[in-house]
Structure 1
Amino acid sequence: GAVVAIQDMGAAGLTCSTMEMASRGGTGIEIDLAKVPQRETGMTPYEIMLSESQERMLLVAGKGREHEVLAVFKKWGLDAVVVGQVTEGGIARIDNNGRVAAEIPPHPLAEEGPVYHRPIAAPAPRRETAADWFVFAAEGTDLTQNFVKLLASPTIASKRWITEQYDTSVRTNTLAGPGASDAAVVRIKDPKTGVVKRALALSTDGNGRWCQLNPRVGAMHAVAEAARNVACSGARPIAATNCLNFGSPEKPEVMWQFSETIDGLAEACTALGTPITGGNVSFYNETLGKSIYPTPVLGVLGILDDASRVLKMAFRDEGDVILLFDGSHAAVGAIFGSPSSDARANLARDFSSSQYSKTIAAIIAGEPPAIDLAAEKRLIDCLLALSAEGAVQSAHDISDGGLAVTLAESCFASSSVVGAQVKLLEEGPAEAAAFGERGARAVVSVTPSKLAAVLDTARQYKVAARQIGQVTRSDAFGIEYKGRAVIDSSVLTLRDAWAHSLERTLAQK
C-alpha cells in the first residue's frame, strides 16, 4: 500500500509519465531535474525531460512512506531516488537548479494533443485462383524429407542457439525456461516468508505472414496463440501487451493495415479476457520504399495459482496416451470431409498461408485459417481445469507447422529419448492433416490410468478429444495416415535438423 501510482517511461520519457499521471489524478506535480539520475553531464532540461532511457519507472509513494519504497529497491539492488512531489492546483512545474524550466497544466499535454487523420485505403484486392495456391501431394507420398526441411526453417527451428547466449534465470525462480513449456514461467515468492504459492507465465507471439494476407484475422490469431500458449503452461491469461510494427503510415494501405490490426486485437482481447495494459507502435519500417509485413507481436501474461502445477511440453513416459484437443468440437476430419470442389478449393486456399506452404512450395497466398474465439476460450478453460487437477503429463499447442511439428517438439523437449507413433484418420490430403495450422487445438499426453477422467473433463468443456497415438521409449517417430506411413524417421535425425539449423545457416553466410 505504500505505492499510490506507477507508470513506465516509454516515449517522451519523463514528459509523458509526469503529465499523464498528474492529468489522470487531477493534481499538479513538481519535478526537480537536478535530482534526476543522469549518465552525462551538461544535459539540458529539454534533454532530461524527453530522454527515453529504458527500464525506468515513475512511482508515487504515499506521503511519509517514500522510505519504505526506497528500502524495497535497495533490497533488490535497484536505484531509486525522490525527484519531486504531487501538488495542488493542477499545474506541472519543472525546476532545474533553482530555476523554473517549465510551468504548464498537465491535462492539455496528456489529453489534448493533435490527432492525425491520415488517409486510409484498403489495397487492391488480390486476385487469386487455384493456380496460385498450394498443390497437395498425391496420396501415399512420403513426406519425411519435407518434414525435415520444415523443422529446419528459421520460423520453426530451435532458438536455443540465441537464447543460450543470454541469462534466462531470474535468480532461482525460473520454473520453465526457453523450450520447456509453451510459455516462460517464473515463480513468485512471498517477500516476507519466502513461501512460493503462485507463478507468472508469459508468451509472445505474432505471424506477419498471416497479417500480410489479412491483418484483422492475423492479429486475432496472434492474441489467441499467445493466450493458448499461456494456458498450455497451466496459467490463466489475464492481460496483454503489444509491439506493433508497420511500414510508413503516410501510405493509405499501411494505415488500413494498422486500423484492421487494432480492430482485430480489440475483438480477440475482449473475447479472451486479456485487456491491453500497454505497448508500443513502430512505423516507417521499410527498405527501399518497401514496407515490412504488418507484424503485431502480442505478449500475454497469465497467473498460476499453484506454482507446482506448471505444465510443460515434453512427452514423459512410455505408454502415455497422446490426445488431440480441438476447441471447435467439430468431428475430427469434418473440415476435410466434404467432397465438393468448393470445400477442396477453400482448403487449398487456407493451407497456402501455412509455414509448410512457404517452406516447401515458396507460396504465401490465400487466407489465414478462420478463427473461432469461442473455441479458443473453451480450449483454454479446459487446459486450465486439467492443469489444476494435475491430470495430464504434457500440453503443447498446435501452431506453426501444424500437428506434426507439435508432436516432434514434444519429443525433442524430453530429457531422455522418447518417440511417438501416431495414426490420423481424417479425410483429405495428408499434408493438410499433418501440417495445417488451424487454431484452438493442442496436443496433450496422459497416463492410461487418467485417460477416462481427462476425456470426461474435455466433454464438460465441450472440447473434442481424440486418442491419436502413444509415447514410446524409442528413437522412432512415425505418423500414419489412412493406413500408410507418411512420416517415418528417427527422433535424433529430426532433432538434429531442428536444433542446429540456425547456426548452420549463419555459419554458411
Structure 2
Amino acid sequence: MTLDTVKHATETPESAQPWAELGLKEDEYARIREILGRRPTGAELAMYSVMWSEHCSYKSSKVHLKQFGEKAPENDALLVGIGENAGVVDVGQGYAVTFKVESHNHPSYIEPYQGAATGVGGIVRDILAMGARPVAVVDPLRFGAADHPDTKRVLPGVVAGIGGYGNCLGLPNIGGEVVFDACYQGNPLVNAGCIGVMKHEDIHLAKASGAGNKVILYGARTGGDGIGGVSVLASETFDDSKPTKRPAVQVGDPFQEKLLIECTLEIFQEKLVAGIQDLGGAGLSCATSELASAGSGGMRVELDSVPLRDATLSPEEILMSESQERMCAIVEPQHVERFMEICEKWDVIATVIGEVTDGERLEIFWHGEQIVDVPPRTVAHEGPVYQRPYARPDWQDALQADDAGKLPRPTGGEELKQQVLQLVGHPNQASKAWITDQYDRFVQGNTVLAQPEDAGMVRIDADTNLGVALATDGNGRYAKLDPYAGAQLALAEAYRNVAASGAKPLAVSDCLNFGSPEDPAVMWQFAEATRGLADACQTLGTPVTGGNVSLYNQTGETAIHPTPVVAVLGVIDDVTRRTPIGFAEEGQLIYLLGDTREEFGGSAWSQVVHEHLGGLPPQVDLERERLLAEILISASRDGMIDAAHDLSDGGLIQALVESCLRGGTGARLVVPDALDAFTFLFSESAGRAVVAVPRSEEVRFTDMCTVRGLPATRIGVVDGEEIDIQGEFSIPLSELRTAHEGTIPGLIA
C-alpha cells in the first residue's frame, strides 16, 4: 500500500477519503481542503477529524462559552484562566492551586471500569501538566434508575475503576456525588475532578517555543487502545443499544501514571522543560498541534520514533491513539541529557520525537516521508464554529405549569414520618458509603474533610494548616424545569457547601453535560444554563477557570436532563477551624438560617413520594447566598458553631438526618409558628443552612446574624437518640440508620 504522503496527496486530488466515517461533515472536509490547498493526507485527515470533533473543538458550544470570559468578575486570586489545561488560583503564602472537572461519560458506558479509571488518569495529568502535584480527586456521578439491571453493570464497574486508579495513585477521593435517574439510563455521567498544589513560580504552560528545542514524548508506549477514543465516542449520539462507532476505550495503568507523576515533578523541580502537555483526548494529534499553536514557531516530528506497543499501527492510528499515561515536553538541548536521566531513574520511557522550528507549520514525517504539513492553529484552535439553532421547547411551559405544590401532602404526623423514612431511604438521598468506602479518602494524611461532608478539604501546608476545600454540585431536575436557574442553583449549592465547611469560595470549574446539540431544545437548555452560570459567577465574584462540555448524552431521541455540574474551590487559613456536618454534642442549639418558602418544584419529595417532575425550581437569591456564606465562614473561624450543613435535596429533614447520623446524636425540634410541619421539613428553598451553636456562643452568633440581616431561627436542640419533631412524630436514629444505609448495598447485591 502506497504511503499517503503530502506529495502523493498533492498529485492525487480526487482520491476518495473516509471523511464521513471519521465524523467530519462534508463542509468541514471541504474547509480542510481549502486550508491546505489540496486534499489532506490520511494522517492529516485523522488529525483534523479528532481535533475538530465535538469533544475536542467545542464547535457547538464555544459561542456560548465565551460569556465566561466576557462576564468574568475581577478576581486578584486568578493566576491562569480559561485556555490552559486547568485554571490556577492564588491561595496565599506563595501557594497556587489548580483544579478542573472533566467528563468521561461515553467510554464509561461502554467499558465502565476502564472508562472511569482513565477519566481519573486524564484529569490527574491535566493538573500535573500545570506544574502541580495532584493532591486529591473528586467524582460527580449520574446513573440510570437504581433498580435497572444495567445500573448493576455500570455502577460497580465505574466505582471500581475510580477507586482502583485513584487508590493506586495514592490520591484521596474527597468529594463528589451520586444521583440516579432514568434519564441517564443509556448515558451515565462520569465526571472526574482533581486538585493540585504548587508554588507560584512553578506554573507551567502548554506551548512550544524556541527553535531547536527538542520535543520529547515520555511515559507509556503507544498502543491500539483508544484509537478514536473519547474524541470520537463522545461526539455522537447513542442509538438504543450501542454507539454507532465503538472505538476501543483507553486502558489505564495507574502504576505507570504514578511513576510518570513523580518523574515529571522531579523534572519540574530541576526546571528542565520550556513547555509541556499531557496526552489525553486526540493523543499526539492534540499534543503536537496545541503545543505548536501556542508557541512562537513550528514543529517537526519524526512519527516513526514513537515507542509502540503494537508495531503494526499505521501513522494515522498512532496520531489518533489515546493510549494513557503519556506526556509531551519541550526541552532545551542542554537539558535533554538530564531529562533522560530522570526518566530512566523512574523507569519511564522517553524519546526525542522532534524539535521546534522557526517556521509556522506542523510537519510530521514517517520514515523520512512527509505525511503532515499543516498550520497548527487550524488543527488546534481554528476548527468549525457552529451557531446551532436553539429554541425554547414547546413542552417547557406545560412542564413549569405542572406545579409540584399541588401534589397531595401528608395529612398527619404518622404520614409525615413514613414519608421521611421513604425519602432518606431513596437511592438519591440514601448513604453512599457502599461507594465511598471503596475509595481511600485519607491517604497522604492531609484529608481533613471527605464524604459525606458538605465539601472535601485537604491541608496543603503542615506548618500553617493552610487548606483548600472543593464541592461539586448539580441538580438535573432543577435544570430541566429552568436551565438558567438550574445552573445558578448548582453554583449556589457548591458555593454554600464550601462556605459551610468554613472555607472562602474563590473560583469555579464546570462540567456541562447535555444531549445532542443538533436538537434546538437541547441547545436552548445549554445556552440558558451557560448564561445563568456566567451571570451568577459574575455576581458572586467566582471566575470560571476552565472545565469541560459533554454533548450527545442521549439515546435515540431521549436526552438526559440538562446537567451542569459546578465545582467550587475555596481556601481556609486554618483547617483546624473547619466545620463538620455532624451533631456531636448534646445540648447544642440548632438554628435554621435563611428563609423557608413553599418550594417543591424538582424536589426530592416530589420525586420520591409522587414520581413527579414539574413546576419551578427554588428561587435563586445570590446576594443571600453571599451573605449566608460570609456568616458561615465567620462563625466557623471564630468558634461560634460546631456543625453546619447546607439545605438542598430533601430539605431540612434530609440535612437533619445526615447531621444526626454523622454525629451519632439525636435532635428535638419545634416547628416555627410561621410554617406548617410539611413545608418546614421538605421545602428545598435555597440560601439556607442548619447549624449547631454551643449555648455559650448563642448571643454572639445571633447578634451577628441580626446585625448582618440574615434570618436565624432557633428550631431545636441536639439531644437523645431520636429525631423528635414535637407534636408530629419521632423516629429513633437506629431506624433512620437502617433506612439510610441499607438501600445502596441492597440494590447492588
Residues 92, 442 of structure 1: CA spacing in aligned structure 2 closer, same or farther, 3 A cutoff? same
Deviation at 1:176, TM superposition (A): 1.6
The one-character-per-residue Cα deviations of 1:24-68 (angstroms, maximum 9, x if unpaired) are: 444434555466565544434433333334566656578866789
Aligned residue in 1 for 2:374: 104
Aligned residue in 1 for 2:748: 506
Matches within 5 A, 1:67-82: none
The one-character-per-residue Cα deviations of 1:197-218 (angstroms, maximum 9, x if unpaired) are: 3222222211111111111111
Partner secondary structure for residue 465 of structure 2: strand
Aligned residue in 2 for 1:290: 558
Q: For 1:65 and 1:467, locate their aligned partners in 2 and report how far apart those are by CA, in whole Å.
A: 65
Partner secondary structure for residue 469 of structure 2: strand
Residues 113, 386 of structure 1: CA spacing in aligned structure 2 closer, same or farther, 3 A cutoff? same
Matches within 5 A, 1:17-36: 17-31=287-301, 33=303
Partner secondary structure for residue 466 of structure 2: strand
The structure 2 residue matched to 1:155, chosen from 416, 428, 436, is: 428
Aligned residue in 2 for 1:5: 205
Q: For 1:62 and 1:307, locate their aligned partners in 2 and report how far apart those are by CA, in whole Å.
A: 41
Aligned residue in 1 for 2:456: 184
Partner secondary structure for residue 725 of structure 2: strand
Q: For 2:343 and 2:639, locate their aligned partners in 1 and report how far apart those are by CA, in whole Å.
A: 37
Worse-superposed segment, 36-45 or 310-319: 36-45
Q: For 2:439 and 2:450, locate their aligned partners in 1 and report how far apart those are by CA, in whole Å.
A: 11
The reply to whether residue 256 of structure 1 matches residue 524 of structure 2 is yes
The one-character-per-residue Cα deviations of 1:449-468 (angstroms, maximum 9, x if unpaired) are: 12222223334543222221
The reply to whether residue 378 of structure 1 matches residue 627 of structure 2 is yes
Residues 238, 44 of structure 1: CA spacing in aligned structure 2 closer, same or farther, 3 A cutoff? farther
Worse-superposed segment, 401-410 or 35-44: 35-44
Q: For 2:316 and 2:615, locate their aligned partners in 1 and report how far apart those are by CA, in whole Å.
A: 50
**Aligned residue identity for 1:51:** S
**Aligned residue identity for 2:397:** R
Give TM-score scaled by structure 1 length. 0.83
Q: For 2:578 and 2:471, locate their aligned partners in 1 and report how far apart those are by CA, in whole Å.
A: 14
Aligned residue in 2 for 1:430: 677
Q: For 1:131 and 1:444, locate their aligned partners in 2 and report how far apart those are by CA, in whole Å.
A: 28
Residues 75, 214 of structure 1: CA spacing in aligned structure 2 closer, same or farther, 3 A cutoff? farther
**Aligned residue identity for 2:555:** T
Aligned residue in 2 for 1:439: 686
Q: For 1:224 and 1:77, locate their aligned partners in 2 and report how far apart those are by CA, in whole Å.
A: 45
Q: For 1:368 and 1:37, locate their aligned partners in 2 and report how far apart those are by CA, in whole Å.
A: 54
Instruction: Judge conservation of contact 1:134–1:351 (CA < 8 Å) in 2.
Output: no
Residues 132, 188 of structure 1: CA spacing in aligned structure 2 closer, same or farther, 3 A cutoff? closer
- For structure 1, list consecutive stretches of 5 or more residues without a partner in the other structure: 327-331, 336-346
Aligned residue in 2 for 1:362: 611
Instruction: Judge conservation of contact 1:13–1:49 (CA < 8 Å) in 2.
Output: yes
**Aligned residue identity for 2:381:** E
Q: For 2:701 and 2:342, locate their aligned partners in 1 and report how far apart those are by CA, in whole Å.
A: 44
Q: For 1:389 and 1:243, locate their aligned partners in 2 and report how far apart those are by CA, in whole Å.
A: 34
Q: For 1:465 and 1:75, locate their aligned partners in 2 and report how far apart those are by CA, in whole Å.
A: 60
Residues 494, 59 of structure 1: CA spacing in aligned structure 2 closer, same or farther, 3 A cutoff? farther
**Aligned residue identity for 1:476:** E
Residues 258, 131 of structure 1: CA spacing in aligned structure 2 closer, same or farther, 3 A cutoff? closer
Q: For 1:155 and 1:36, locate their aligned partners in 2 and report how far apart those are by CA, in whole Å.
A: 47
**Aligned residue identity for 1:15:** S
Worse-superposed segment, 254-263 or 98-107: 98-107
Worse-superposed segment, 356-365 or 302-311: 302-311
Matches within 5 A, 1:266-415: 266-326=534-594, 332=595, 335=597, 347=598, 350-414=599-663
State, as a whole percentage, how many aligned pairs show the same letter.
Answer: 40
**Aligned residue identity for 2:604:** Q
Matches within 5 A, 1:37-48: 38-48=308-318
* Equivalent residue pairs, number: 476
Instruction: Judge conservation of contact 2:404–2:601 (CA < 8 Å) in 1.
Output: no
The structure 2 residue matched to 1:217, chosen from 460, 485, 497, is: 485
Q: For 1:63 and 1:310, locate their aligned partners in 2 and report how far apart those are by CA, in whole Å.
A: 48
Give TM-score scaled by structure 2 length. 0.58
Aligned residue in 2 for 1:479: 725
Partner secondary structure for residue 421 of structure 2: helix
Aligned residue in 2 for 1:458: 705
Aligned residue in 2 for 1:126: 397
Instruction: Judge conservation of contact 1:322–1:468 (CA < 8 Å) in 2.
Output: yes
Q: For 1:61 and 1:458, locate their aligned partners in 2 and report how far apart those are by CA, in whole Å.
A: 56
Instruction: Judge conservation of contact 1:476–1:490 (CA < 8 Å) in 2.
Output: yes
Instruction: Judge conservation of contact 2:405–2:600 (CA < 8 Å) in 1.
Output: no
Deviation at 1:295, TM superposition (A): 1.5
Residues 399, 131 of structure 1: CA spacing in aligned structure 2 closer, same or farther, 3 A cutoff? closer
The structure 2 residue matched to 1:492, chosen from 718, 726, 734, is: 734
Instruction: Judge conservation of contact 1:242–1:298 (CA < 8 Å) in 2.
Output: yes
The structure 2 residue matched to 1:114, chosen from 372, 384, 394, is: 384
Worse-superposed segment, 130-139 or 264-273: 130-139
